[in-house]
Structure 1
Amino acid sequence: MKSTSQKVSFGEKVGYSLGDGSANLVFQMMMMFQLFFYTDVFGIKATAAGMILLFARFFDAFVDPLVGILSDRTNTKWGKYRPWILWTALPFAVFFVLAFLTPDLSERGKIIYAGITYTLLMSIYSFNNTPYSSLGGVMTSDIKERTSISSIRFVTATIATFIVQGLTLPLVNKFGQGDASKGWAITITLFAIVAVVLMIITFFTTKERITPPANQKTSVKQDLKDIVSCRPWKTMFILTLFLFTTLAMWGSGMSYYFNYFVDKDALFYFLGNIGLVSGGSEPTGVIHKILDAFGLIVYDNSQVFAVGFSLFNMVGQLVTLAGVILLSQFLSNIFGKRNVFIICLALTALFTSLFFVVSANNISTIFILNILKSLAYAPTIPLLWAMMGDVADFSEWKNHRRATGFVFAGIVFALKAGLGFGGAICGGIIDSFGFVANTVQSADSILGIRLTASIIPAITFFVGVIALLFYPISKKLNEQIQGELDARRENNQ
């Protein structure tokens, strides 16, 4: 089958992208707010909360390969991977809600409840997201179409990220009316309902076009041998592990950074200058009424953290969205995915490190650094999954066998392991520096929070840069692989 016959319509690309929008309603919540929720809302100590995140990752180590094996061997009229998106949609939503409830339990009971619900959520995430990611690798073999699919996918993912990072805390305040537990429960339930709808749309609007070679024999042992011996896969595994360790650490760290380090009076003044402070009266303009409906208008200092941090996140996501749309495919078509990833990730590490030197009352500089960091990171977002599709092609090209689900399962495991490690590292560091939730922090505690939001994630970002130096699939080799695989498929080899 020639790649020219594997063009994917814009509607199908959008339909596929909605699945990642759904996943990011959950993923971003875990990455940005799970640790903060456990410590500041549910009342679990930071180290214990971090260990919950880490424990779930070890348990999940057995789930991801299983999902890859099962999905590769699934044969239905809908394909191998699409059915899993439909089958897991409702359980995904249920476990999402359960992970953010706050039952009245003892400290030990809270730890057990959080451990069980978070582990279940991560497991169902594997059963949903590994097949979903694999689907993107079998919708087309055309490398430009694949990059286009990834770019549109991450436009939708960025919109979902914008919603989660920008509206979660204001909606919690709005729905809770002083009761944080109630606010979180209603907000998460709302997101869960939307997530189910988006997954169902993805199932009905997508199509699988690439199948394994006709003479391929089923062998888990051979699948494992193929990926372990695949240098591009090992490179992407290390990159993904450190990338998502960093994102989870930085996302969690910034929650504490804004709540405990950033000067509330300076932030209040900053928000007032851009029209987000009410001055004690109800908003009158249409825009202000809309903002107020989402909890984005400050009435007093108690709302400064929620609105300020939400604005910080929304600005970052808008810049990221522009970068994904305008830069990712354009730059990768010219310079190749690997080269773009290396330069942009190195710049991301640099801008992240600079959060350490900003003073607590210099709000404008904090926002400027966020804009620079987001713009630098934006082009890399679609490239990770487009490159994983290339890795599946590389493995098929080299071994004459294709196991897309197994290839992606390892990367999803690295992603979630990074998520667990990042949260655990952040929790462990701030706890070791003396963090106590919902109190004025000591100078040592503030130092720990600043480190988790700047220097330490900058270092782990840079490990990803080093890993990419060993990624062997250049733009030229990618085109060669595509051409040879197209010829094989045409001849049913």
Structure 2
Amino acid sequence: MTNATSSPTGKLSVTEKIGYSLGDLAANLIFQTLLTFIAFFYTDVYKIPANAAATIIFLGGLAGACFNPLMGLLADRTNTRWGKFRPWLLWTSVPFGLIAILAFSTPDLGERGKIIYATLTYLMLMLVYSANNLPYSALSGVLTGSMQERNSLSAYRFVAVMIAQLIIQVLLLPLVLILGGGDKVAGFQNTMIIFAVAGTICFLITFFTTRERIVPTAAQRSSVRQDIADLLGNKPWVVMLLLTILVFITLALKGGLYIYYFKDYLQQAALAQFLHDIGFNGFIAHLNAALNSIGLTRFQWPEDPATSAFSLFNGAGIVCMIVGIGFSKSLADRFGKRDVYALTLFISTVFMLVFYGFAPTSIGLIFGAQILHGFFYGITIPLLWAMIADVADYSEWKNNRRATALLFSAMIFGLKAGLSIGGALVAALLSSYGYDGTLTQQSPVVADGIRVSISIYASIPFLLGAAILYFYHINKATERTIEQELFARRAAAN
């Protein structure tokens, strides 16, 4: 295990920050696809009934989530010359990619066979995601002991997340249509092959460019029972667990419903007119002409207004999230992570609630609300995981013991539980409204249900998350106290 001579509270190099962030780029090529498209893939591509899709997403995700505490205990007790957490990136990089390809493949097995295949591949993907992403997340807690450096590391990390989100939410559907020649079945599989290769390379770069510096002292000896007792007695951890679940319920719910919102609620003629008025159609016409002129006739941007508007909508939101991330560190350094997170999460939710009042033709207002939502939510993105790393320090500060991976495993459990609940709610709500993936046009009841779901229902978990931060007691002053006292202890131990 690396026991670096550099101070554990010292600055990280730009190379190490970028190298670490590439791991999140890799993971989110898959994760963002699940977040945004898994319900759509099951109902509209693999043609699984919506109620069966809801069951697969919920039970598969929940089973994967229950694996996280075991994975956390295992990672905390891993000892290699590379450290505790880095080797897991090496061991899981290739399996992660291969299983992702299988999960988005569509063998024709009949309805029952499809459901079994989807269940098994989704469960396998959840398990390998835990074995990869839990150690990756815990790694951020042992690269440096400086809370300000963690703010900076989180900013780098979540710019990478936004890049992955931009690729998935803006380009995935066009890529699916292009790489499949209009066939979404072939397109999804071909696209996932590209993502799997790119992700494997990024995980390996993360492994080779990072070093673990916060190493438990030789005197620390704790049982599994003691680690779990420390966790359950950590009140800030309880708050962060609930917050993580709530946040990812909303992300899965709104993320999974947006594609249906553009396809089945918004008026296609209004979308086409909006794209024409802002010059998007003209830009795409020139782009397609340029591709034709160099012989790339297969790589044509799709003409479907819903696909183009959906991609542009997501792109606008993501660009504004990246801008918001740029403000995150300075605001957190000045006012503290907790207060900034709670306020900006609440403001971002207001711009989700306004979708309730938008008519199917209010395209400009919809894009404006998305831009403002994206900016304020972007400020919160790096802070969630930086706060979780702070909770690991809080546990060490209070108990003189550190179980970084176990703590992060609980948060990944929350992430997966939220993803499972939110993703299942997408399919369950669609089923309750009578959605039928085999129809080209849905009923008015389905369309109105989608409007209510992405506004009112998706906002409730965010509002609850902002409220429970009242019980999170690590404010700016406490952050400073914890950092200084842990620095003194580690210096004395060295």
TM-score (structure 2 length as normaliser): 0.95
1:51 to 33, 55, 58: 55
Pairing of 1:37-116 with structure 2 (within 5 A) = 37-116=41-120
Asked if structure 2 preserves the Cα contact closer than 8 Å seen for 1:2 and 1:486, the reply is no
Q: Deviations over 1:205-256 (max 9, x none)?
A: 0010001132111311111110111000000000000000110000011111
Does the 8 Å contact 2:435/2:446 carry over to 1? yes
Q: What does 1:5-404 correspond to in 2, within 5 Å?
A: 6-277=10-281, 283=287, 297-299=301-303, 303-325=304-326, 327-404=327-404
Aligned partners of 1:151 and 1:324 also within 8 Å: yes
Is the 8 Å Cα contact of residues 222 and 401 (structure 2) preserved in structure 1?
no
Q: Does the 8 Å contact 1:278/1:297 carry over to 2?
A: no
- The runs of 5 or more residues in structure 2 that have no matched partner are none
RMSD: 2.0
Structure 1 stretches of 4+ moved >3 Å: 1-5, 278-290, 292-299
Q: Does the CA contact (< 8 Å) of 1:296 and 1:307 recur in 2? A: no
Q: Is the 8 A contact 2:288 2:300 kept in 1?
A: no
- Structure 2 Cα separation of the partners of residues 380 and 343 of structure 1: 9
- Name the counterpart of 1:449: 450
Alignment match, 1:425: 425
CA distance in structure 2 between the aligned counterparts of 1:328 and 1:293, rounded to whole angstroms: 43
Q: Distance in 2 between matches of 1:462 and 1:111?
A: 35
CA distance in 2, matches of 1:298, 1:31: 23
Q: How does 1:411-490 map to 2 (within 5 A)?
A: 411-437=411-437, 438-490=439-491
Matched-pair identity in %: 44
TM-score, normalised to structure 1's length? 0.95
For 1:273 and 1:356, the matched residues in 2 are separated by: 25
Offset of residue 389 of structure 1: 0.7
Q: Tell me, in whole angstroms, the C-alpha distance in 1 between the residues paired with 2:120 and 2:283.
A: 45
| Larger mean Cα displacement after TM superposition, 106-115 or 53-62 | 53-62
Cα 1:296–1:382 change in 2 (3 A) is farther
How far did 1:280 drift? 11
Q: What is the distance in 2 between the residues matched to 1:230 and 1:340?
A: 22
Q: Deviations over 1:373-408 (max 9, x none)?
A: 101100100001100110000000001100000000
Pair 1:417–1:347, CA change in 2 (3 A) = same
Counterpart secondary structure, 2:472: coil
- For residues 42-70 of structure 1, the C-alpha deviation after alignment (integer angstroms, 9 at most, x for no partner) is 00111210110111123124310111011
Q: Distance in 2 between matches of 1:182 and 1:135?
A: 36
Shift of 1:274: 3.0
In 2, Cα distance between equivalents of 1:382 and 1:293:
41
Number of residue pairs matched by the alignment: 488
**Contact 2:345/2:380 (CA < 8 Å) preserved in 1?**
yes
CA distance in 2, matches of 1:11, 1:414: 30
